[in-house]
Amino acid sequence: MTLITYRDALNQALREEMHRDPRVFLMGEEVGVYQGAYKVSRGLMQEFGEKRVIDTPITEEGFTGVGVGAAMVGLRPVIEMMTWNFSILAMDQIVNGAAKMLYMSGGQVNIPIVIRGPGGAAHQLGAQHSQSLESWYAHVPGLKVVAAATPYDAKGLLKSAIRDNDPVIFIEGETLYGSKGEVPEQEYVIPLGVSDVKRAGTDVTILAWSKMVGVALAAADTLATEDVSCDVIDLRTLRPLDEQAVLDSVGRTGRLVVVEEGWPYASVGAALADLVQREAFDQLDAPVERVTGADVPMPYAKNLEHLGMPSPERVIQAVRRVMYLE
């Protein structure tokens, strides 16, 4: 095992898959000469050339459409969004193109495309650059949605996403790029649709993904000093969802807290609460609690941005409520 950053884990995944399969190529704004806005593509253009690491104009709808077309004829494009906020400009190509082509072609045309880049808030980037849009894409049949929390998961999941024959939305935590974790030196992949228990516990289930896994674990550390044992599950893939792992955990603990950076209305957390109340109602000892981002455009002011994000303190309060400790 080696200790590397989240960005370097993604870089390794891209490099290894480009070596493994000549059909894989990377395309997006500043991915080549500048080596990526967040340096995820560092060194790739020098190694693979300008035909496989392609700098594009600032036109998300255009280069995403090129990627969809390339996937239709057998290539395996990786499209980088400088931020997922900019993917809104490419929604037609993603939702009406990539997601629907397999169904509308009667199963004849696969779209093996990965669309990846940073999502969520970072540090004072303002309302238009701080949005968590995973619920938008998880809402769409035909798309797979991945949100990795650690370097280990980022590498293994990205490799699986590139090999997948369906379109994959791969949302990276913008503030995670510099975080470090252990990654095996040998080849490995992580199957899509399989969650991971980041901390085993018996009293309450906490579901999280991406940056919120760290928030959940920090809360669990504090709660452990109060003799509250938290089962922290990193979903890793939001669609397909590891439903059985969620239900098994809630069956053991009887309580659920969902932590997500996104807005509360029509969110992934709302879907998880629905799943549990439908399939595990008799196992619940308390109502499901959700800790979300504030239901407002993200403020620019640092103190207000902090208040707009889920925090360990808010998770602790939610856990105490389901435990009837306050």
Residues with catalytic annotation? 60, 129
177 CB-near residues (< 8 Å, 6+ apart): 5, 6, 7, 38, 39, 40, 118
Preceding peptide of 167 cis, ω within 30°: no
Half-sphere exposure of 19 (CA within 13 A, CB side): 9
Dihedral of alpha carbons 221, 222, 227, 231, sign: negative
